[in-house]
Structure formats: structure tokens, C-alpha cells
Amino acid sequence: MSAVLKVTGMSHWFGGLKAVSNFHFEVPEGAIYGLIGPNGSGKTTTFNLITGIYKPTEGKIEFAGGDITGAKPYRIVRKGVARTFQNLRIFGSMSVLDNVRVARQYRPASTLLASTLRLPSFKAEERLRKAEAMRLLDVLHLADRAKEQAKNLPYGELRRLEIARALATDPKLLLLDEPAAGMNPKEVQDLMALIGRVRDEFKVTVFLIEHHMKFVMGLCERIKVLDFGETIAEGIPEVVAKDPRVLEAYLGKKGGH
């Protein structure tokens, strides 16, 4: 399996504070990859570096074989990296459908379909985009909410809308920033199933950050554990879960099951 995302020697300082220290990782194509670590361990900073919000002080980020280090965020998105936010960043006073459409509009409407159907006009393209947006809402069980103002949605649905909006940019790599935050166990269970289905249906690689251990252990195929900006373990869930340094970071010095 080739790596869709490859990070080498990435470090980032905020003034004198080293938020991310010499990161190396490869996210295999098609995987569900998890990055875990306590608060302040550099998880969200990693996402901000990958998506171009910050420029890494050192190191290189390669996506789908091309160098994206320090590129502008909108260019990185258009290359195929999408993300959701830990603290929901939905466009509240736009409709649910428009939230998805605004993320869709910089993608060519499915050109294959458009050319086979010979749809030349702008209006037809608009219709197609709308249909695509509706399909996304459908997959995420939000279709009946399409016309509603996004800010009126309950929390769980907003979380799903974030995923729908990210998928609308037609990504190869989907970054999820604490997707299970604030969810109850039932919702977490549903979300795990949903993320698996999204990966299969949209052929995306999923890269997620989480605190929720059970969620990560149950969903991810490969996990990287951080502590204070440094990697303390990496591998498949079964191995990482037994790593003494992980147990120490998460459960305290004498930790164990």
C-alpha cells in the first residue's frame, strides 16, 4: 500500500514553544489512521500544518506524491485534503444544503457524468452540483434537513454536516478533528459505523484525532500516539494498547488493565 500522506521531519514552534517535534509518519492509502495523545500534545497543530493554516518551521509534507509544505489552504483543499473541526465551524446562517454546496463549487461537477449526458449549460451544472450535494446529505442522513438553517440543527447532526461538507470538496484524504467529541456512547457507536461506510463509499483515506480511546481502538487500523509533541508509539491498535509508554501517558505510572 502506498502512502497518501507522508510527513518527514516536521517541527513547529509557536515563539519559543515547540508544539510539534520532528514528526515522521505515513498514512497508507485507504486506511483509517488515528492520532491520539493528551491535550497539548500537538494533534490539532498537526492538522493545521497539513491543511496549510500554519507553515511548518521544519520538515516536509507530501500528499499524493506532491509537496504541499506551506501551500495555501484553499490550494491544499483543491488538491484533495478536507477536514472537519473540533469545535464545529459550520456556516450557521446558511442552509444545510448551501453549506455543502459552497464546499462543492470549486470542484468540477462530476465531469464524466456531465460529458456522458452532454450537459453543456451552467444551469445543468448547477443542477448536477445540487444533486451531488443532496446525495451527500442522504448518505449522512441529513437529506430531510437540507432546507433548514444550519444553526438550528442539534449537535449530533452538526457533526455529521461537518463530515458532509468536508466530503463535498471531493477529498482523497479526510481529516477528522475529534469527531466523537461530546457524543454519547450510542452516537459514538453510530459514528464508527458511519466513518467506515464513508471510507468505503467515497474511497477516502481517513486520518483522525481523538481522545476517546475505545473509539480509536475500535475503528483505526493504524495508530500513532503522541505526548508533548513527540511520538511515543505507533502501530496496530492491539500492539499500541499494550505499549508501556502509552499506558503511562494515559493511565499514570502504575497503569495497567
Partner 1 sequence: MGSIFNLQQVVNGLQLGSIYALIALGYTMVYGIVRLINFAHGDFFMVGAYAAYGAFFLFNAALGGSGLPMAGIALVLAMAASGGIALLTNRLAYKPLRYKPKLSSLITAIGVSMLIEYVFSAIPFIGPSFRAFPEILPSRPIQIGPNATISTQAILDIGVAAVLMIGLTVLVRHTALGKAMRAVSQDKDAAKLMGIDVEKVIGWTFLIGGSFAGAAGLLAGMTYPRIFPFMGILPGLKAFIAAVLGGIGNIPGAVLGAYIMGVAETFATAYNSLLGEGIAFAILIVVLLVRPRGILGEKTADKI
Verify binding: residue 14, partner 1, rule CB under 8 A. no
The smaller minimum CB distance to partner 1, of residues 102 and 124, is found at: 102
Q: Which stretch binds partner 1 (CB under 8 A): 100-108, 182-190, 197-205, 237-245?
A: 100-108
Verify binding: residue 105, partner 1, rule CB under 8 A. yes
- Specify whether the CB–CB gap between 171 and 177 falls below 8 A: no
Verify binding: residue 148, partner 1, rule CB under 8 A. no
Q: Grid cell 459550520 — which residue? A: 90
Q: Which stretch binds partner 1 (CB under 8 A): 28-36, 161-169, 180-188, 210-218?
A: 161-169
Distances (CA, A) of 165 to 32, 103, 183: 19, 6, 19
Q: Grid cell 449526458 — which residue? A: 117
Q: Is 130 helix (H, G, I), strand (E, B) or coil?
A: helix
Verify binding: residue 222, partner 1, rule CB under 8 A. no
Verify binding: residue 8, partner 1, rule CB under 8 A. no
Q: Is 28 helix (H, G, I), strand (E, B) or coil?
A: strand
Size of the site for partner 1 (CB under 8 A): 27
Cβ-count burial of 247 within 10 angstroms (0-12 exposed, 13-18 middle, 19+ buried)? middle
Judged by the rule CB under 8 A, the positions of this chain that interact with partner 1 are: 51, 53, 72-74, 77-78, 82-83, 85, 87, 89-94, 98, 101-103, 105-107, 165, 168-169
